[in-house]
A and B are shown apart, each in its own frame.
Chain A
Amino acid sequence: MSRTSAKRPKGREMFALGNEAVAEGALIAGCTFYGGYPITPSSEIMEIMARELPRRESGVFLQMEDEIASLGAVIGASLAGRKAMTATSGPGFSLMQEHIGYACMAETPLVVVDVMRGGPSTGLPTSPAQGDVQQARWGTHGDHPIIVLSASNVQECLEMTVTSFNMAEKYRTPVILLLDEITAHTREKIFVPEPDEFAIFNRTVPAMPPEWYKPFEETVRGVPPMPPLGSGYRFHTTGLTHDVNGFPTQRPDEIEDLMLRLFRKIDQFYPDIQLVDDHQCEDAEIIVVAYGSVARSARLGVDMARESGVKAGLVSLRTLFPFPRNPLIQRLGAARAVIVPEMNMGQISREVKRVASNRVQVRALNRIDGDIITPTQIYKAISQA
């Protein structure tokens, strides 16, 4: 759904937590399977799915024995044709890395919501942080592409959950939605459009007869069609590097074909995947790049700066990976400095430096004490830039 559409869509208002909006978004997107394990600060998502899914047509909810099992069950469900998800926080997200890799390799659409809390280890269960950003990108072993999205307020939690499912289905890939404790536990008024107001994408199923179907064959989009298990297309799925039939291979040409296709199916759709919002960027001399709840503080900080006569702007990232290089650079315009506030020691500022340090000065603003970055902090940083 486009937020800029002139016509007000049909729907209802809701006073919701970020986590509740995620569950709402998942149900709108057509999620019919949830497998999870309780963990603060994500548990509300699981509780709502436990209440809602059994009451809905063919909805399945399962509480598994740990996070490894949760994502295993989600993969099984997705292979059986379901739109499936799980939600967790740092410690559980660490356990899920094994199966995120499997889902990349076996091209299994699914959504993992990671509500970030302070870490490492058990860390700060009820305090916000943004320490899992690079883990979301590189947490599972082996070279792989991945889509990591984020949301900065409760309304975006709803929208980005739908977007997560759409991208997972469209590109046959795991999608990670990174929230932080503040966004997940903020309660505010949101607008929930009717499900038919959203563009919902479902995975492509094969149109050819089963005997012609090659499960991992090259296609125009690089994404092979995916039939549900038991529909007459019997094929092999494996986490081993495989040929077009899905059988393990050691042949360099087949290995390269697979790996390049896995990357290309994401790479060639950057314009569709890399989502950013901007605020007051047109003439900005100082631009703040932020994501999650920090983007919300940053918006206020930027407005405070504007009031005091400083030309400040905000780029808030809805897509963290693949890192939105071009959308960001386009918005930098004539800026002389970029400030990247985040609740870690510089996980996205490193990306911003990588793509922009040749044209503008990039400064990190870090906070790791379990508290939020305030608008005043950001305003101060802008004033000093």
Chain B
Amino acid sequence: MSHVTEIIHQYLRHNKKFPHVFCPGCGHGIVLGSLIRSVHELGLPKDDVAVVAGIGCSGRIAAYVDFNTIHSTHGRALTFATGVKMSNPKLHVICIMGDGDATAIGGNHLIHAARRNVSITALVLNNNIYGMTGGQCSPTTPEGASAMTTPYGQLEKAFDMVELGRAAGANYVARGSVFQANMLERFIRTAIERPGFGLVEILSPCYTQFGRKNHFKTPVDMYRWLKENAVPRESWEKMTEEKRRGRIPVGEFAINDAPGLEQRYAEMAARLKEEAER
């Protein structure tokens, strides 16, 4: 057993009925591994970590990890997480959502959680599709792509989650991919460590529901695509408009130090207490 596998086994639940639900070629297992390594490297006690997941393939991750875990409702993970964090600020609250989960049904909650800047780490596993329900298009399905509900190609423009998170006021915004697992791990770690709302979009291929319908012959082709097209932000910024087409920048897009909402609330409560005693 490799060292990395040993670490992961420490954090998986032993009373959970495995195997997991992920299809061959799915990127979500890499995210799960990255999350566990991030928590391990930060040295967080398992009791101090709360994982709140939405509904969908990504949501199933919560059941596998040996933390305080909540599998919430579709799109609403951030609302549960906000209640948890404000009730017990000592917990490190990590939200795991899918792209449909976080940007369609949960889009309102995403922008308001970012605006409140409550210290939650939001991981959005973006596979550009509704995987669990059978491959319908999501708000991040690229224009022109094929899905069960866009059989003639997606007409709508895709959401840019990074721009969304930044504009809504998140302290930390990053985009990583499961092909660049070390970079991803660093982003997750940073998001957990820093105060305020941390949004990490994670490009995680879905071969079963997206790849097969969109000219990827094998899952490996999807990872190869990520390798070639998920380009570091620094290189992206130097690219011409033409070169950028079809490529996605990965990296850190916002790093701010504003105190989290729970911190500001505690300060307000302390001030009120002081005033009352005076």
In the complex, the answer to whether B83 meets A102 with C-beta atoms within 8 Å is no
Candidates A73, A229, A236; contact of B86 at CB < 8 Å? A73
A207 CA to B16 CA, complexed, in Å: 23
A84 CA to B88 CA, complexed, in Å: 13
Among A265-285, those with CB < 8 Å from B are none
Candidates A65, A76, A235, A247; contact of B84 at CB < 8 Å? A76
A66 CA to B111 CA, complexed, in Å: 13
Choose, from B34-42, B66-74, B183-191, the stretch at the interface.
Answer: B66-74
A73 CA to B79 CA, complexed, in Å: 5
The size of the chain A interface, using a CB distance under 8 A, is: 44
Q: Cβ of B80 < 8 Å from any Cβ of A?
A: yes
Known: A54-B265, A79-B70, A239-B72. A73 touches B83 (CB 8 A): yes
A239 CA to B74 CA, complexed, in Å: 10
A234 CA to B48 CA, complexed, in Å: 10
B 41-57 binary contact with A (CB < 8 Å = 1; else 0):
00000111010100000
Q: Cβ of B2 < 8 Å from any Cβ of A?
A: no
- Apart from A65-B109, A230-B48, A239-B71, 11 more pairs, CB < 8 Å: A54-B269, A64-B82, A65-B108, A68-B76, A75-B83, A76-B84, A80-B87, A82-B87, A230-B47, A234-B68, A238-B62
Among B235-269, those with CB < 8 Å from A are 265, 268-269
Kindly list chain A residues whose C-beta atoms are within 8 Å of the C-beta of B79.
64, 68-73, 76
Kindly list chain B residues whose C-beta atoms are within 8 Å of the C-beta of A78.
83
Known: A76-B79, A99-B76. A236 touches B69 (CB 8 A): yes
Q: Cβ of B212 < 8 Å from any Cβ of A?
A: no
A69 CA to B111 CA, complexed, in Å: 12
A35 CA to B78 CA, complexed, in Å: 14
In the complex, the answer to whether B48 meets A73 with C-beta atoms within 8 Å is no
Q: Cβ of B81 < 8 Å from any Cβ of A?
A: yes
Q: Cβ of A120 < 8 Å from any Cβ of B?
A: no
Q: Cβ of A332 < 8 Å from any Cβ of B?
A: no
Known: A54-B272, A69-B79, A234-B47. A76 touches B71 (CB 8 A): no
Q: Cβ of A74 < 8 Å from any Cβ of B?
A: yes
Kindly list chain B residues whose C-beta atoms are within 8 Å of the C-beta of A234.
46-47, 66-69
A232 CA to B276 CA, complexed, in Å: 35
In the complex, the answer to whether B73 meets A98 with C-beta atoms within 8 Å is yes
A199 CA to B203 CA, complexed, in Å: 53
Known: A54-B272, A76-B80, A76-B82. A228 touches B66 (CB 8 A): no
B residues at A contact (CB < 8 Å): 13, 15-17, 46-48, 50, 52, 62-63, 66-73, 76, 78-88, 90-91, 108-109, 112, 265, 268-269, 272-273, 276
Candidates A33, A69, A229, A235; contact of B109 at CB < 8 Å? A69
- CB proximity of A37 to chain B, nearest CB, Å: 11
- Closest residue of chain B to A55 (Cβ to Cβ) is B272
- Closest residue of chain B to A84 (Cβ to Cβ) is B83
Q: Cβ of A205 < 8 Å from any Cβ of B?
A: no
Kindly list chain A residues whose C-beta atoms are within 8 Å of the C-beta of B73.
72, 98-99, 102, 239
A230 CA to B88 CA, complexed, in Å: 8
In the complex, the answer to whether A231 meets B87 with C-beta atoms within 8 Å is no
In the complex, the answer to whether A66 meets B48 with C-beta atoms within 8 Å is no
Kindly list chain B residues whose C-beta atoms are within 8 Å of the C-beta of A229.
50, 68, 70, 84, 88, 91
In the complex, the answer to whether A231 meets B17 with C-beta atoms within 8 Å is no
In the complex, the answer to whether B112 meets A65 with C-beta atoms within 8 Å is yes
- CB proximity of B48 to chain A, nearest CB, Å: 6
- Closest residue of chain B to A66 (Cβ to Cβ) is B108
- CB proximity of A88 to chain B, nearest CB, Å: 15
Kindly list chain A residues whose C-beta atoms are within 8 Å of the C-beta of B16.
245, 247
Kindly list chain A residues whose C-beta atoms are within 8 Å of the C-beta of B67.
234
Known: A55-B272, A69-B109, A76-B87. A62 touches B82 (CB 8 A): yes
A66 CA to B71 CA, complexed, in Å: 21
- Closest residue of chain A to B77 (Cβ to Cβ) is A72
Kindly list chain B residues whose C-beta atoms are within 8 Å of the C-beta of A73.
79-80, 82-83, 86
Known: A72-B80, A72-B83. A240 touches B71 (CB 8 A): yes
